[in-house]
Amino acid sequence: MHTLTYTPEQGHDVLLPLAQALGSAQKVVVFTGAGVSAESGIATFRNGANALWSRNDAQRMATPEAFHANPARVWGWYEYRRAVIARAQPNPAHLAIAALTRHFPELRVVTQNVDDLHERAGSNDVIHLHGRLDQARCDKCARAFTHLSGIPALPEEEVPIQPPQCACGGYVRPGVVWFGESLPEDDWDAATHLAGHCDALISVGTSAMVFPAAQLPRLAKSNNATVIQVNPAPTEMDLHCDFNLRGHAGDILPALLAALERNQSAS
């Protein structure tokens, strides 16, 4: 395992060995977590003064039991987060990931994130393992609910909001995967196939501790793919990756793109 602490002052040349190792890869998976959106101003979940769950107990918000016990409290919190995301913009990491398809036409993005910043940066066919905040549905009959178009008003973080009701009488719930719920089956099947058959997997901004999603880098490694991690902090993936790039995604992904371009023009 090769660990490198990256700062922009170093310049992208320090990433040339990685660009060379990736040079012959065809099937590439970029696996992302909340850290890829941190530089867009969207809070991560764990570890940090501003992390969502330093402020809110997960069990109080991110379970079906919490929603059934108090739908307005949970819906209000997710409406607040949906409004924050609608105001955010993709950052240089999202843009660089979208641009990586110039080098790897078969690249696919598999994200745990419930925001749409990869799509807004230009990535296509993104797999959302934990759903999307803008795809709410009825809790009872699963009928899709369409939010009003445009940027929603920004409510206070902790103010309860009564969820809309479906024609069947059920409450509308956020279109995300809560603890104890299964991941969308087709998306999970597609993600395991991609991770199990890729040449390289780049894990960006995830603590890699929520399962089953966290199996994906481990699956890629067990199939001899090159596994690269981008994260400013240590994670449980450190031992399993070939290249461990410590730093911010918004610095490292553009530098990796530049190193790949440099490597290509030199060959």
Could you give the residue numbers annotated as active site?
A: 130
Which residues, 6 or more positions from 211, have their beta carbon under 8 angstroms from its beta carbon?
Answer: none
Rounded to 10°, the helix 92-99/249-266 angle is 30
Residue 44 interacting with ligand BJW (CB under 6 A):
yes
Give the closest residue to 176 by CA, choosing from 209, 152, 210, 205.
210
- 230's enclosing H/E stretch is strand 226-230
Are the C-beta atoms of 236 and 153 separated by less than 8 Å? no
Chain residues binding Zn ion by CB under 5 A are 138, 140-141, 143, 166, 168, 170
Are the C-beta atoms of 109 and 121 separated by less than 8 Å? no
| Contacted entry of Zn ion, ligand BJW, none for residue 221, CB cut-off 5 to 8 Å set by kind | none
Identity of the residue, 99 or 245, whose beta carbon is nearer to ligand BJW in the bound complex: 245
148: which DSSP letter?
P
Identity of the residue, 17 or 64, whose beta carbon is nearer to ligand BJW in the bound complex: 64
| Contacted entry of Zn ion, ligand BJW, none for residue 141, CB cut-off 5 to 8 Å set by kind | Zn ion
Give least dist CB 191 to ligand BJW, A.
13
> What binding mask, one character per residue, do residues 197-216 give for ligand BJW by CB under 6 A, x or -?
--------xxx-xxxx----
Residue 115 interacting with ligand BJW (CB under 6 A):
no
Residue 35 interacting with ligand BJW (CB under 6 A):
yes
Residue type, 202: I
Interactions with ligand BJW, residue window 118-147 (CB under 6 A) = 130
